[in-house]
Structure 1
Amino acid sequence: MRGPRRDTIASIVVTALSAAFGVALIQATSILATVISADDISSRSTAQLALVMVAAVFIVIAVYVGSIVTTNTFATIIAGRTRTIALMRLIGSSASAQRRAVAKEGLIVGLLGSAIGAVVGVVLTAGGIRIAAASGAVPDLDYVLADPLVLLPVVMVVVSTWAASWLGSRGVLEVSPMQATGAAIEPSREESVRRPLRNAFAAIFFFGGLAVMGAGVAFGLVSPLGFLVAFLGGIASFSGIVLGAHVVIPPLLRLTGRMLGSSAAARLAAENGMRYPGRSARTTIGLVIGVTLITTFAVAAQGYLDMIEYSQQQSPESYGGGVDELLLVTVGIFSALIGFSAVTAAFGMVNTLSLSVLQRSRELGLLRALGFTARQVRSMIIAESLQLTVTGVGLGVLLGVVYGWAGAQSLLGAIEGSPGLVWPSVPWMLVVVVIAGAALVTLVTAQFPARRATRVSPVAALAVD
């Protein structure tokens, strides 16, 4: 584990992004609180209660997303180091010593990345709000730009990174030292399916979470507290997707891959998603998280606007001055969060794709030795990237529409003049931009790992550590 390895640098960047995202969410709540407190609408509406609930939700989202992203990234890194760790054991290192080394690296990465992310998040938020205030986009108020709550997502990113390294090392250290001659070890399809306890929990979390979210939406028609119920259901259902990703995502990848044609490279790319479900799930779930966040924020913001505007028309006496300004600030904050989510999703996809190709050098070398040309290998990697993008974006948009609608509906379903139960307000132009952006990022970034893979000769690739 000595020296600044490529995967170590990548994990530091991921933890920094996760921490910065968490800081931005907490600071966004603080800015909204300042705007609402400076206006008289707080005494005549449920704005304060809604803000408290949104603040709690933003904190949980920050912690939850940071934990999943860092855990997913470190699990990918540990899987790629299986052979190196096994070699260390072969020459006499104990399993406990290797596990401590991995956990120590995870702790260092978490501390360093979180510190960088916290500074970046505070600086970007402070600079952004000052620029917005100077331009008149938001009122010039005394904003708190160093909320102590920002430490919560930072600490959780550190803890989750350390936990991911510790738990991830458990599986690889069970490998016999004699297997050090192999490549990165991934569970096969049969091994992944034979996880009855995990699969059962995934199904319970997903379907149970959907039921709770539906109950929260119904409760939201009489009380804004339904928002918290719906949010808990959303977290539970998405946790079910993460737990069962090794079962759900590979078949979707293969189905998507079959749409790319019948060439040897396309067919092999389609089957690769099923061959190692764990690897396929880790590579795709990062993009699913990012797109789900983008779509959720966008749909929630649009639904929030539509329902408030409708309620204003129905009960103008209940919505005095300050509401329009608050709406503008809210939309601005949500737009910034959408942009932050987009950056996180794009980097997550690039990072996992690059690490995956690096860890598959021996596999790609074997394909070259069996007769695959450099062009075919490049086509296969690009096809895998495309099917990852289509699957991740499709699933993320679907989940984001459901979660965003449930959030806005449960929060505002009981306000004065509410239209009651409404259809999701989907900003289709943004959805199209997300899809086009993901496709563009895929095509551009897939070129780099593809070029790296085809530059290595078959003999050198088969000998790689």
Structure 2
Amino acid sequence: MIRAFRANARDHRATILVAALSAAFGVALLACTNILGAYIGATQLGEHGSVQLALLLVAGVFFVIAAYVGAVVTTNTVATIIAGRVRTIALLRLLGSTARDQRRAVAGEGFVAGTIGAAAGGAAAAALSLLAVRLFTLAGVLPDVPYPVLTPSLLVPVVVVIATTWLASWAGGRRVLTVTPLEALGAAQEPPARSVRRPGRLAASLLLLVPGLALLVFGLLLGLGVFAGSRIDLLIVLGFLAVLVALVGGVLSFTGIVLAAPFFLPAILRATGLLLGRGAAGRLAAANASRNPERSSRTAIGLVIGVTLITMFVVASETWLHVIRVAAAAEPGMYAGAEEVLTVAMIVFTVLVGFSAVIAAVGVVNSLSLSVLQRARELGLLRALGFTAAQVKRMILAESAQLTVAAVLTGLVLGTAYGWIGAESLLGSIPGGGLLPPVVPLPFLIAVVAATAALAVCASIAPTRRATRVAPVAALAVD
């Protein structure tokens, strides 16, 4: 296991970084939850245990989201790595190794990478959390009360990240099972479109998507108090239950969307590409999305995850504040200090959710970089057929542009829906609240479009430069 990891350590730098960020996020999240709990305990709202329970619930939701994002990013990263190792794996198969042995080796590499990253990230986050509390207390930002920062519970995120990284590596290595020894005689290739869009994949995605959507609707109805009548105690219990139900529904439905990505994302990418330009480079960029649906959807889904995540958080937090303001206007005496505490909590969670955004960004950069580098033969063939280096760069730039547009459109729709359901399921039944529309600030829309475009373009510049510097004959000789 360790020997295999050492031999392929460079391939797993992104996996280690994702594991470190995920573990750091979880440890920092638990530490900040303990700090906020002590802070709220020193205020008037501390008399209500339901506030602290809601805080723990929200923290748990954020950690599950971060762990899920890390798992999806790791799965895509491993799948991208395997796509570039097909010929090596096939050669090992030809020499007598079985597909299961190779898949176990890949999962073992993921376990080692996850352990290294999770241990480093968890330790760093614990130390920084302890230091931050001390500094904020000395500066007067936080009241001078005991804060339980370092607790045994901080080990939970580390263990969870190691487990999810191993499972994600196992899932991402499923491509190994389809590699045949005969592929050792040729170059590594992506599977054809018909093998990716098989009926079994569509059926699996629907089995996750349909129940997930049903749970999302059920969680929304629970959060709105439809089944509680006028009983306040039951409204509180159902509010907490609604968030858990909506969380499970969100994970199931989004997993179904990820599985179904090769069926719909290439079409969106192709349509976007055709709108962006009619030149040879633009048309070829649009055609690449349909020619390699697994590669294009795998790259695009990383951007979709990032946009969905940020949109979900922004919409949820803005909708939470809106619900509290509406409720406070209707019931002025019930929410004294609520908006202030919620604002402080949102500031803390805003910093923490940046970890998840960085996790998704790491996956996008890694997938784009590996995807371009693994296409050296394809780019070399285009150069041999008469494409100039500038045309190849324009083609890659066009692909990045269509990725940006498709990811932003898809992510904004999904993130708005998930964020609104999350906000309403948690606070929809509070006195004075109710069913309110989602709040999507315009500055955020501008920022997310600009950030996504910059990420997609910047991630493809360096590998494209490296690929186009290679002579066409040398590129065609790359395995």
Q: How does the TM-score come out when normalised to structure 1?
A: 0.92
User: Deviation of residue 187 (structure 1)?
Assistant: 2.1
Q: Any idea what the Cα deviations from partners look like across 1:387-414, whole Å, max 9, x if unmatched?
A: 1122122211211111111111111111
1-structure distance, mates of 2:139, 2:412: 33
The residue number in structure 2 matching 1:244 is 260
Between the aligned residues of both structures, percent identity stands at 53
State the SS of the aligned residue for 2:287: helix
1-structure distance, mates of 2:49, 2:138: 29
Among 367, 386, 400, the alignment partner of 1:371 is 386
Among 307, 310, 334, the alignment partner of 1:291 is 307
* Structure 2 residue 188 is matched with structure 1 residue 187: no
The residue number in structure 1 matching 2:204 is 201
- Relative to structure 1, the CA distance from residue 169 to residue 256 in structure 2 (aligned partners, 3 Å threshold; closer, same or farther) is same
State the SS of the aligned residue for 1:184: coil
The residue number in structure 2 matching 1:150 is 154
2:323 alignment partner AA: M
2:286 alignment partner AA: A
* Structure 2 residue 222 is matched with structure 1 residue 219: yes
User: Deviation of residue 95 (structure 1)?
Assistant: 4.4
1-structure distance, mates of 2:466, 2:335: 59
1-structure distance, mates of 2:281, 2:255: 33
* Structure 2 residue 338 is matched with structure 1 residue 334: no
- Number of equivalences: 462
Among 271, 274, 282, the alignment partner of 1:255 is 271
1-structure distance, mates of 2:46, 2:76: 41
1-structure distance, mates of 2:289, 2:122: 36
The residue number in structure 2 matching 1:315 is 331
1-structure distance, mates of 2:174, 2:342: 49
**Would the aligned equivalents of 1:298 and 1:338 in 2 still touch at CA under 8 Å?**
no
RMSD across aligned C-alpha pairs, in angstroms?
2.3
* Structure 2 residue 42 is matched with structure 1 residue 38: yes
State the SS of the aligned residue for 1:244: helix
**Would the aligned equivalents of 2:12 and 2:113 in 1 still touch at CA under 8 Å?**
yes
2-structure distance, mates of 1:161, 1:343: 17
The residue number in structure 1 matching 2:230 is none
2-structure distance, mates of 1:45, 1:114: 32
The residue number in structure 1 matching 2:76 is 72
2-structure distance, mates of 1:350, 1:183: 24
The residue number in structure 2 matching 1:459 is 473
User: Deviation of residue 452 (structure 1)?
Assistant: 1.0
Q: After the TM superposition, which of the residue ranges 24-33 and 345-354 deviates more from structure 2?
A: 24-33
1-structure distance, mates of 2:157, 2:292: 32
* Structure 2 residue 88 is matched with structure 1 residue 84: yes
**Would the aligned equivalents of 2:89 and 2:179 in 1 still touch at CA under 8 Å?**
no
Q: Any idea what the Cα deviations from partners look like across 1:228-267, whole Å, max 9, x if unmatched?
A: 2222222221111112112121111111111210111111
The residue number in structure 2 matching 1:235 is 251
Among 391, 409, 416, the alignment partner of 2:431 is 416
The residue number in structure 2 matching 1:399 is 414
Among 259, 275, 285, the alignment partner of 2:291 is 275
- Relative to structure 1, the CA distance from residue 453 to residue 324 in structure 2 (aligned partners, 3 Å threshold; closer, same or farther) is same
**Would the aligned equivalents of 1:22 and 1:66 in 2 still touch at CA under 8 Å?**
no
* Structure 2 residue 306 is matched with structure 1 residue 302: no
1:201 alignment partner AA: A
1-structure distance, mates of 2:168, 2:15: 11
2-structure distance, mates of 1:397, 1:128: 33
State the SS of the aligned residue for 2:190: coil
The residue number in structure 2 matching 1:440 is 454
* Structure 2 residue 400 is matched with structure 1 residue 385: yes
- Relative to structure 1, the CA distance from residue 235 to residue 174 in structure 2 (aligned partners, 3 Å threshold; closer, same or farther) is closer
Q: Any idea what the Cα deviations from partners look like across 1:188-214, whole Å, max 9, x if unmatched?
A: 2111222x2331231232233223212
State the SS of the aligned residue for 1:446: helix
2-structure distance, mates of 1:10, 1:162: 14
Q: Any idea what the Cα deviations from partners look like across 1:54-94, whole Å, max 9, x if unmatched?
A: 23323422332222222221121112111112223334555
User: Deviation of residue 324 (structure 1)?
Assistant: 4.2
* Structure 2 residue 56 is matched with structure 1 residue 56: no
- Relative to structure 1, the CA distance from residue 99 to residue 312 in structure 2 (aligned partners, 3 Å threshold; closer, same or farther) is closer
1-structure distance, mates of 2:305, 2:151: 26
Q: Any idea what the Cα deviations from partners look like across 1:156-200, whole Å, max 9, x if unmatched?
A: 322233233334444325422221133333222111222x23312
Q: Any idea what the Cα deviations from partners look like across 1:25-73, whole Å, max 9, x if unmatched?
A: 3334333322222223143584134224323323422332222222221
State the SS of the aligned residue for 1:414: coil
User: Deviation of residue 129 (structure 1)?
Assistant: 4.7
Q: After the TM superposition, which of the residue ranges 404-413 and 277-286 deviates more from structure 2?
A: 277-286
**Would the aligned equivalents of 1:7 and 1:355 in 2 still touch at CA under 8 Å?**
no
1:458 alignment partner AA: P
- Relative to structure 1, the CA distance from residue 127 to residue 370 in structure 2 (aligned partners, 3 Å threshold; closer, same or farther) is farther
The residue number in structure 1 matching 2:228 is none
1:163 alignment partner AA: L
The residue number in structure 1 matching 2:370 is 355
Among 123, 128, 134, the alignment partner of 1:119 is 123
Q: After the TM superposition, which of the residue ranges 271-280 and 150-159 deviates more from structure 2?
A: 150-159
1:265 alignment partner AA: A
1:350 alignment partner AA: V
2:406 alignment partner AA: T
Q: 5+ unaligned residues in a row in structure 2: which ranges?
A: 226-234
User: Deviation of residue 302 (structure 1)?
Assistant: 0.8
The residue number in structure 1 matching 2:444 is 430
1-structure distance, mates of 2:72, 2:200: 20
The residue number in structure 2 matching 1:101 is 105
- Relative to structure 1, the CA distance from residue 319 to residue 160 in structure 2 (aligned partners, 3 Å threshold; closer, same or farther) is closer
- Relative to structure 1, the CA distance from residue 139 to residue 363 in structure 2 (aligned partners, 3 Å threshold; closer, same or farther) is farther
**Would the aligned equivalents of 1:44 and 1:318 in 2 still touch at CA under 8 Å?**
no
**Would the aligned equivalents of 1:75 and 1:168 in 2 still touch at CA under 8 Å?**
yes
Q: After the TM superposition, which of the residue ranges 431-440 and 9-18 deviates more from structure 2?
A: 9-18
1-structure distance, mates of 2:444, 2:134: 26
**Would the aligned equivalents of 1:21 and 1:340 in 2 still touch at CA under 8 Å?**
yes
**Would the aligned equivalents of 1:209 and 1:237 in 2 still touch at CA under 8 Å?**
yes
